[in-house]
Structure 1
Amino acid sequence: MDLGIKDKVALVTGGSGIGVGSHTCRTLAAEGARVAVAYRSNEAAAKNLVHDIERTGGRAMAVAYDLQDPEVIDACVDGLVSAWGSVDILVANAMSPPAPLATTAFDALPRDDIRRRVRTDLEATLFTLQRVIPLMTAKGWGRVVLVSSLGCERGWAGDAPFETAAGATKAALHGVARSLGVEFGRRGVLTNVVTPGGILNEQLERVLTKERLEVLQSRIASGRFSTPQEVAHCIAYLVSAANGNICGENVHVDGGS
């Protein structure tokens, strides 16, 4: 299937890691999009990803994206417009680092950490949307995917209560997507949420015991956790021209959890 995004400019925040972000960058680049790999601190990883994309014939650039600094967000968007003319696609995948694993209860979570979560995970996404949506409406075409988490819908079931604040900010994105869909859908900008279920990675293995992972996996209808690439394929479709009328939806990639 031709996704129809050749030469489109895609900004992927949280794009430099080993998970959903980097897989999304590679997938969009393989479809011909020009991809901005937005990183918070790991510049080397972002540049390595750009190198890999360019080595296979894709087009990409690494851009600084500090969740805690609105001026850096503005500079990121301005740099993209200067280099590539616009932003057609936004994949908001970035989030602040998790709380220390030693913090095992919500009532013990420092208030500064809660404020940081709201500021970086929610405000930064809103500020970015404020900058890119006018670029999209000016051309009558744009696609936005906000990456959420199944934990914000169903709670963390005692596995990671220190992430309650993160769940709150991710849940807020669902309302953002619905509202943006109503406000800008008629102007060609389709906004959706992608909610991954469990993705087996190093972070999950650090947080949960092997026994707990087996219990969680047994509750998945497909019998296994999702892969980052499977989530990336879903995102790629939603931000493509092939998606002509999916707007304001919350799409789960969770194996039927």
Structure 2
Amino acid sequence: MVVSLFSLEGRTALVTGSSRGIGYALAGGLLEAGARVVIHGRDVAAAESAAARLGELTGGEVRVATFDVTDPEAVDAGVAGIEEVWGTPDILVNNAGIQRRTTFVDFPVSDWHDLVATNLTSAFLVGQRVARGMVTRGSGKIINIGSVQSRLARANIAPYSATKGGIVMLTQGMCADLGPHGIQANALAPGYFATELTRALVDDAEFSAWVAQRTPAGRWGQVHELVGALVFLASSASDFVNGQVIYVDGGMTAVI
């Protein structure tokens, strides 16, 4: 009984930005838990390659979608394409995101707009489009990917922190509107994880020493350590959990 609560057999998941990094690991975890998964990215070749690797590794059923998550018309068409084949996803993971680093006074307005569009507006657009089908069905799980920067600031990434703070309030707003329709919307907030996207920081001895000193666990996270919390939020085990943020950060947000 308890184990079956975490099973995702028979469910469909869409993970945006899942051709690499954290999104790739999250998609793999959902596949291993029994879901069939739509791998998403802007780069068709990268998305297809990721889907092929994950399908081979897990034996799970995988499809590919490559729509622009910042374009309302593209989102509508992309989700419609998924629905034609697999129906409205049971699970949506809004993971697509980018990072830009510059001091606040020198931060280009164009970079601000790019960050807001990719990190926050995309979660609204894809979340809204998928939620319409979830409301009709009367069930669904939305997991928005936040960050320790949803709660903590650091120099040179103020706009990124603003977008990740916005993810928390968007999640709570989704909970308020969608909860009555049997839909749970929660956020998963990673700390500092070693991925190909953070390789330069991992290889920076001074920065890695700061991460180890600042994190009670004393190290960088490994992407597989996000999967347990994700499966919990995507499964029936979390049916009465709504509007919450789970920080998977080795304790970083718990200490000063």
Please say if residues 13 and 65 of structure 1, whose CA atoms lie closer than 8 Å, have aligned partners that are also in contact. Answer: no
Deviation for aligned residue 1:202: 4.0
Structure 1 residue matching 2:9: 3-state secondary structure? coil
Offset, 1:70: 2.0
Shift of 1:65: 2.7
* Counterpart residue number, 1:148: 146
1:174 aligns with 2:174: no
Give yes or no for the alignment of 1:65 onto 2:67. Answer: yes
Shift of 1:117: 1.6
Task: Report whether the alignment pairs 1:165 with 2:159.
Answer: yes
State the match for 1:127 in structure 2: 125
CA contact (8 A) 2:69 2:126 kept: no
Q: Does 1:9 align with 2:12?
A: yes
**Which residue in the other structure is 1:256 paired with?**
251
Contact 1:198–1:254 (Cα < 8 Å) also in 2: yes
In 1, are the aligned partners of 2:93 and 2:144 still within 8 Å (CA)? yes
Q: Contact 2:47–2:66 (CA<8 Å) still a contact in 1?
A: no
Q: Where does 1:1-257 land on structure 2 (aligned, <5 Å)?
A: 1-2=3-4, 3-17=6-20, 19-41=21-43, 43-55=44-56, 56-96=58-98, 98-99=99-100, 104-156=102-154, 158=155, 161=156, 163-207=157-201, 209-257=204-252
Distance (Å, rounded) in 2 between the aligned partners of 1:152 and 1:244: 24
- Rounded to whole Å, the distance in 2 between the matches of 1:218 and 1:225 is 10
8 Å Cα contact 2:149-2:165 kept in structure 1? no
Provide the rounded CA distance (Å) in 2 between the counterparts of 1:4 and 1:127: 28
Structure ranking higher in helix proportion = 2
Distance apart, 1:204 and its partner CA? 3.1
The answer (yes or no) to whether the contact 1:24–1:232 under 8 Å persists in 2 is yes
User: Over aligned residue pairs, what C-alpha RMSD do you find?
Assistant: 1.7
Shift of 1:207: 4.3
Give the drift of 1:184: 1.5
Structure 1 position 57, deviation (Å): 2.1
TM-score when scaled to structure 2? Answer: 0.90
TM-score normalised to the size of structure 1? 0.90
Task: Give per-residue Cα distances to partners, 1:138-183, cap 9 Å, x unaligned.
Answer: 2221001100111231111x3xx0x221111111010111111122
Give the 3-state SS of the residue equivalent to 2:193 in structure 1: coil
Instruction: Report deviation, 1:205.
Output: 4.1
Structure 2: where are the runs of 5+ without partners?
none
Q: Aligned partners of 2:178 and 2:189: how far apart in 1?
A: 21
The one-letter code sitting in structure 2 at the alignment partner of 1:4 is S
Output the CA distance in 2 between the equivalents of 1:221 and 1:187.
Answer: 39
Contact 1:20 1:232 in 2 (8 A): no
Question: Identity across aligned pairs (percent)?
Answer: 29
User: What count of residue pairs does the alignment treat as equivalent?
Assistant: 247
Residues 1:28 and 1:202: Cα distance change in structure 2 (over 3 Å): closer
Mapped to 2, the partners of 1:207 and 1:5 lie a distance apart of 34
Question: Contact conserved, 1:221 with 1:255, CA < 8 A, in 2?
Answer: yes
Alpha-carbon distance, 1:11 to partner = 0.6
Alignment gaps of 5+ in structure 1: none
